[in-house]
Homo-oligomer: A and B are copies of this chain.
């Protein structure tokens, strides 16, 4: 058999680190600190990654050991992203918003040996410190009394200052574990996804391509989406590989500081979930802000209402593009750029969930297990596979989540012939009414187009006649009012008549999961338990 003559080079994070550190030495990493930014060059961040690796090695971190990060989006977090995998250890990003028992669970389950913690959120870690069975030492970024952690605590800056300036990166097979992230499932324990150097490298290349985000050194990336949540959509790695500047928002995720960051530091691309953009919109509508630096704003994590995208585009010249994926897919799997030729009729496309990316294979599977056509009509579960898609979970094969090598995403959708996914529901959220499916997502999107509605979440509730019917839970804008009748009338020409909800709740806010998604489990439980509060009664 004829052999390829190509070199067998490995796709590693250390090669990304070294390339950009040298070629883009003057690119910048800004970390917002409330009244201004801390600035470091790629050259400095790269040098500090070497020192961090040296320090961790001194602390006993070896190949395959897990290093947890309990950090905001900061320069130090980026240093850990680069150093920990490059030295052959495994980065474990910890979700700051987990309930204490879940936080302790994931640290113990991953067997983190060292945790790097930001002083501003030390109290959250202190709550669980005595339950942690594997952590031997802590690195503290910033100043605080961390003695209550009960294990040796090292000051991050002092440790780096004392560490050897150069670390000789090991030559790793590209399939070596590089990083891990636990899914924030609303049922059962969180499950760990373990990325490889290869999957991270390929995901970074795919993210920077012309059909995705066209990342280059001319960009300035503002990752609002947390680096503990699905790797901030891969932006720390893809941005670094491209040599882009970064604006790291730190803990300043509210509308006012974000508006200031955008106006002052002029990011060209910023990623956040719809809730953040929704809050920011309210702010910038009232406080004129120069948003013109932004050339594209990926948005995902939950469905992005067309009304939100249009408000940004029409009032602020900002182009929001939906993206779809999950912790299990690194996360980017689909992006909703309109296809060529539809420049003047782009909204039907931009409102879809996303067009499948090259590198991710997708199929649509019906309830009986048959593969469905991409005809824009047939509805089934989206299944994917590919080099940056997980094939199992850490210490938990969970075979129910896989179907002959395909990941079952749990998202129910139709797919257009052009590969555009239109998610109608999470499999567990779909409303089965009289043998037909009602899309809670479509109802939510339609409702959020009403000027008085700030947010809307629709869940299935039991119904004697139809088995299930939709319950619409609505958050009104400050000072706005609307009756169920008025909202139902508004929906009438937007959805099928039999979809119109008979049950309505007006609530103060939609309960959310630790990563900011609507927690429909809680909404359903509140209904089932008859715990509706005064606020939830129809006004």
Contacts and interface: CB of A to CB of B under 8 A. Distances in A.
A3 interface: yes
Interface stretch (A344-352, A381-389, A455-463): A381-389
A90 B64 CA distance: 39
Contacts of A216: 209-211, 214, 337
Interface in A370-393: 374, 385-393
A405 interface: yes
Q: How large is the interface on A (under 10, 10 to 19, 20 to 34, 35 or more residues)?
A: 35 or more
A385 B9 contact: yes
Nearest to A374: B22
A440 B21 CA distance: 33
Contact of A199 (B4, B19, B392, B405): B4
B194 A63 contact: no
A4 B386 contact: no
A205 interface: yes
A215 B178 CA distance: 29
A257 interface: no
A355 interface: yes
Given A209-B215, A210-B210, A216-B210, A358 B20 contact: yes
A89 to B, nearest CB: 9
B391 A193 contact: no
A419 B180 CA distance: 32
A196 interface: yes
A212 to B, nearest CB: 9
Nearest to A386: B9
Contact of A418 (B23, B205, B218, B391): B23
Contacts of A5: 192-194, 390-394
A217 interface: yes
B361 A15 contact: yes
Interface in A186-234: 192-196, 198-199, 202, 205-206, 208-211, 213-219
Contacts of A241: 358
A394 to B, nearest CB: 6
Contacts of A387: 6-11
Nearest to A7: B391
A16 interface: yes
B210 A4 contact: no
Interface in A12-58: 15-16, 19-20, 22-27
Contacts of A385: 7, 9
State how many copies of this chain the complex holds. Answer: 2
A175 interface: yes
A210 B211 contact: no
Contacts of A20: 358
Interface in A64-85: 64, 66
Nearest to A356: B23
B211 A3 contact: no
B206 A390 contact: no
A2 interface: yes
Interface string A402-436: 00010100000000011100000000000000000
A1 interface: yes
B205 A210 contact: no
Contacts of A209: 205, 208-210, 214-216, 242
A417 B23 CA distance: 7
A123 interface: no
A4 B177 contact: yes
A340 B217 contact: yes
14 contacts: A1-B64, A2-B64, A2-B66, A4-B195, A4-B199, A5-B391, A5-B393, A6-B389, A27-B340, A205-B205, A210-B215, A210-B219, A211-B216, A211-B243
Top-7 shortest CB links A-B: A210-B216, A4-B196, A23-B419, A7-B391, A1-B64, A9-B387, A6-B199
